[in-house]
Amino acid sequence: MVSDLLQSLFSNVWSIFLVVLFFGGSIFVHELGHFLAARRRGVLVERFSIGWGPPIFSWHGRDGVEYCVAWFPLGGYVLLPQLADLGPIEGKSRAEVSKLAPVSYSSRMLVFVAGAAFNMLFAFVLATIIWVVGQPENSETATTRIGYVSRTLDLSDVKKVPSPAFEAGLRVGDVVKAIDGSKVKNWSDIQYLIQLGSGQTADGRRKAVFTVERDGHLIDLTIHPILVGEERDRRVGILPGYALLVQQVKPGSIADHAGFKAGDQILSLDGVTVLNGTAYFEKLDGSADKSVDARVKRGVGETAVTIPIVIPPRPDPKSAANFGLTLSTGLEFTHPTPFQQMSEQITMTFRTLWSLLNPHSDIGLSKVSGPVGIVRIFHSAAEAGMRVSLIFAILVNVNLAIFNLLPLPILDGGQMLFATIGKLRGRALPPNFIIAAQSTFGVLLLAMVVYVSVFDVRRWARDVQSERAEAAAQSSAAPAK
Kindly state the average pLDDT of the residues 48-71: 83
List C-alpha distances in Å: 411 to 25, 48, 199, 407, 420.
19, 17, 31, 7, 14
Please state the rounded mean pLDDT for residues 436-464: 85
Average pLDDT, the chain: 84
Residues of the chain with CATH 2.30.42.10: 135-240, 244-328
Give the CATH architecture of domain 244-328. Roll (2.30)
**Element spanning 415, H or E:** helix 412-425
The average pLDDT across 86-93 equals 55
pTM: 0.82
CB-based burial of residue 236 (10 Å sphere; 0-12 exposed, 13-18 middle, 19+ buried)? buried
Q: What is the mean pLDDT of residues 191-203?
A: 91
H runs (alpha helix) in 93-219: 105-133, 139-142, 164-168, 187-195
pLDDT, position 94: 65
pLDDT per residue as tens digits for the range 131-165: 999 988 888 888 999 999 999 998 766 788 899 99
Q: In whole angstroms, what separates CA 41 from the centre of its chain?
A: 37
Give 135-240's CATH code, choosing from 2.30.42.10, 3.50.50.60, 3.40.50.2000, 1.20.1250.20: 2.30.42.10
Q: Name the nearest CA neighbour of 64 among 92, 94, 19, 102.
A: 94
Q: Are the CB atoms for 40 and 74 separated by under 8 Å?
A: no
Positive or negative, the CA dihedral 138, 139, 140, 142 is positive
Structure confidence by residue, pLDDT tens digits, 294-326: 999 998 888 889 999 998 887 765 555 567 888
Q: What is the pLDDT of residue 9?
A: 41
pLDDT band at 379 (very low <50, low <70, confident <90, very high): confident
437 backbone dihedrals φ, ψ, rounded to 5°: -65, -45
- The answer to whether residues 187 and 147 touch, using CB atoms and an 8 Å cutoff, is no
Sign of the CA dihedral with 263 first, then 269, 275, and 278 last:
negative
Alpha-helical segments (H) within 185-317: 187-195, 254-258, 277-286
* Spatial contact of 51 and 91, defined as CB atoms under 8 Å apart: no
Res 393 pLDDT > 80: yes
pLDDT value at residue 434: 82
Report how far apart, in Å, the C-alpha atoms of 410 and of each of 85, 102, 189, 376, 439 are: 10, 20, 33, 26, 8
Cα(438)–Cα(387) distance, integer angstroms = 38
Burial class (CB in 10 A: 0-12, 13-18, 19+), 10: exposed
Least confident residue range of 258-272, 335-349, 463-477? 463-477
In the three-class reduction of DSSP (H, G, I as helix; E, B as strand; rest coil), residue 192 is classed as: helix
CA gap 308, 400 in Å, rounded:
54
Distances in Å between the alpha carbon of 25 and those of 19, 20, 73?
9, 7, 11
Q: How confident is the model at residue 464 (pLDDT cuts 50, 70, 90)?
A: confident
C-alpha to C-alpha distances, 134 to 14, 137, 188, 296, 336, nearest whole angstrom: 21, 9, 18, 31, 8
What was the pLDDT predicted at 294? Answer: 92
Task: Quote the CA–CA distance of 133 and 112 in Å, as a whole number.
Answer: 33
In total, the chain counts a number of residues equal to 481
pLDDT band at 446 (very low <50, low <70, confident <90, very high): confident
CB 244 within 8 A of CB 266: yes
Confidence of residue 187 (pLDDT cuts 50, 70, 90): very high
Most confident of 183-187, 299-303, 388-392: 183-187
Q: How confident is the model at residue 8 (pLDDT cuts 50, 70, 90)?
A: very low
The half-sphere exposure of 139 on its side-chain side, counting CA atoms within 13 A, is 16
Q: pLDDT per residue over 359-374, tens digit each?
A: 888 888 888 888 778 8
